[in-house]
């Protein structure tokens, strides 16, 4: 007979495990106001930059032994790591390889006004108008972080930033800078305008080429949809429509275009 | 009793279908010297830029009716589209949604000398030293194409460019510029050097910041591994090690870094 270890979660079909696993779906995330943070690197960033949002931490014994800093950071944040079996962790996770570490976090988005305060009079931001692909959205967040953007404003027509695939592809950037979600794009753009934020639509149809763009301060890049770009009605709300000079049409995807635009903003500031 | 249509491939378990499906695996690609090109956009680019490499085209009736240009382009290239059922197409494909169009192509890579001839005395290239992720490799190829690189040199330690995921993420760029594969990275770098191609390692450890880098002509960007960057022995073979100025460490992935570097090369040329 095997001794039962009461501190080890071992039943992948328990209600608690199901409740965590449900966070892979948007309806459950919206209902619980929580989301999944998977893998040691993302959990590390959560505990480092947004510890008050961490609601629970699940780890296998092997992962806890390997990443002693994570257990320590969790306890510093008043969170006792919950030991679980590989099977329980796999049942909770959306990722194929969560590497034995998974956290549940409360939402980290901020109100629009707070995000715009962060942009202030000298910063720059990025607006996701209608970005649907999780990998692209995550990469844009990561680029915003890398190049020192002050905020990311995500419209209600874009992918849920708490989608586990988005969270994974931000590689922790979701916890590094203010992110606003769920606002219609027209409202986002009107709010930017009212604060004097210059709106630059990034779109292959633009007649202003990136090297000639007037960034001004503050400014925001407005990124459209992967397949059809920015809707005419959204472009019309922007101060300028800017294209990246390329050799061949349709050869940049949205994440690459955003990377180049955000790098240009960082370079213009430097 | 259903009438049998002899021109319609309808058995997903036939030998012919299995032989195509096997191209999802590297061993079969190496043995057959062929690879999968999936979806209407990629097949269009194949027929437009590398028609002699197209060995077979499989389409559903619905896709053929929707993309009449593909049927026409295939026949212009002397290739009769082979009609097949949705089930047969799904059995052949690696993609989840091949959209009813799939081609089998012969390899399109060129000898190293030919790629270096394309770089000549005024071009620039990118070297994939140890890029393992298919999406990253595909995105780098796409960026090389977008920003007018003359060639892509892929070492034998990198992912197979004929992996269906790489082919998909190049979005046709694989057919737009000369690509060399299967050469050890030391040989690639030695060959570049012998032609006077300046070697710039892209690595976060670099002490030269991108805005201060001396591109020179011709030059090549050397991209390392997603997780650990470039090995010291490879960096030592380069003329300079260049870092992208960022606000936070580890916040750019390999594809983003390559995009920024290639954009800088294009801008320096312009």
Q: Which residues in chain A come in under a pLDDT of 50?
A: 1
Residues in chain B closer than 8 A to A244 (CB atoms): 263
Closest chain B residue by Cα to residue A268: B211
B256–A145 CB contact, under 8 Å: no
Q: According to DSSP H, which parts of B120-197 are helical? A: 134-146, 164-170, 185-194
Q: Which pLDDT band, with edges at 50, 70 and 90, does B2 fall under?
A: low
For residue A7, give both structure tokens: 């501190």
Give residue A76's pLDDT: 95
Task: Select the residue from A141, A169, A202, A260 to test the B interface by mutation, using most B Cβ atoms within 10 A.
Answer: A260
Give residue B3's pLDDT: 65
Provide the pairing of β-strand B124-128 with B179-183: unpaired
Q: Which pLDDT band, with edges at 50, 70 and 90, does B147 fall under?
A: very high
SS3 content of chain B, % helix, strand, coil (to 5): 45, 20, 35
A146–B263 CB contact, under 8 Å: no
What is the set of domains in chain B, with CATH numbers?
Answer: 8-106 (3.30.1330.30), 112-269 (3.40.1280.10)
B250–A171 CB contact, under 8 Å: yes
Task: Select the residue from A149, A173, A247, A249 to test the B interface by mutation, using most B Cβ atoms within 10 A.
Answer: A247
* pLDDT tens per residue, range B149-168: 999 999 999 999 999 999 99
What Å distances lie between residue B8 and A101, B61, B79, B87, CA to CA? 50, 9, 16, 12
Which residues of A99-216 form beta strands (DSSP E)?
Answer: 101-106, 124-128, 151-155, 179-183, 198-202, 208-209
H or E element, residue B56: strand B54-59
* pLDDT tens per residue, range B6-38: 889 999 999 999 999 999 999 999 999 999 999
Are A95 and A23 contacting, i.e. CB atoms less than 8 angstroms apart?
no
Distance CA A146, CA A43 (A): 19
Beta-carbon pairs below 8 A across chains A and B: 85
**Cis peptide, bond prior to residue A162, ω within 30 of zero:** no
Of B147, B244, B253, nearest to A247 by CB-CB distance is B147
Query: Per-residue pLDDT averaged across B73-80, rounded?
Result: 95
ipTM of the complex: 0.89
DSSP B2-31: PPP-TTEE--TTSHHHHHHHGGGSHHHHHH
Q: Quote the DSSP letter at residue A133.
A: -
H or E element, residue A66: helix A61-66
Give residue A171's pLDDT: 87
Residues in chain A closer than 8 A to B45 (CB atoms): none
Q: Average pLDDT, whole number, for chain B?
A: 94
Q: For residue B1, is pLDDT > 70? A: no
Question: What percent of chain B clears pLDDT 70, i.e. is strictly above it?
Answer: 97
């Amino acid at each position: 007979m095997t001794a039962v270890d009461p501190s080890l979660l071992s039943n992948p079909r328990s209600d608690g495990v199901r409740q965590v696993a449900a966070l892979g779906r948007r309806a459950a995330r919206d209902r619980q106001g929580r989301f999944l943070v998977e893998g040691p690197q993302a959990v590390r960033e959560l505990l480092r930059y947004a510890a008050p949002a961490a609601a629970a931490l699940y780890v296998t014994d092997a992962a806890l032994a390997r990443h002693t800093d994570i257990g320590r950071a969790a306890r510093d944040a008043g969170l006792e790591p919950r030991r679980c079996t590989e099977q329980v962790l796999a049942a909770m996770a959306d990722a194929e390889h969560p590497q034995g570490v998974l956290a549940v976090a409360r939402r980290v988005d901020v109100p629009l006004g707070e995000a715009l305060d962060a942009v202030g009079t000298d910063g720059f931001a990025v607006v996701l108008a209608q970005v649907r692909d999780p990998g692209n959205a995550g990469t844009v967040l990561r680029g915003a972080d890398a190049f020192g953007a002050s905020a990311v404003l995500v419209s209600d027509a874009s992918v849920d930033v708490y989608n586990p695939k988005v969270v994974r592809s931000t590689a922790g950037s979701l916890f590094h800078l203010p992110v606003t979600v769920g606002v219609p794009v027209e409202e986002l753009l009107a709010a930017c305008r009212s604060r004097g934020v210059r709106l630059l639509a990034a779109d292959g149809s633009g007649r202003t080429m990136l090297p000639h763009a007037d960034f001004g301060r503050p400014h925001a890049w407005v990124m459209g949809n992967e397949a059809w770009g920015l809707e005419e009605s959204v472009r019309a709300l922007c101060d300028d429509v800017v294209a990246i000079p390329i050799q061949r049409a349709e050869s940049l995807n949205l994440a690459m275009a955003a990377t180049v635009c955000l790098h240009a903003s960082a370079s213009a500031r430097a």
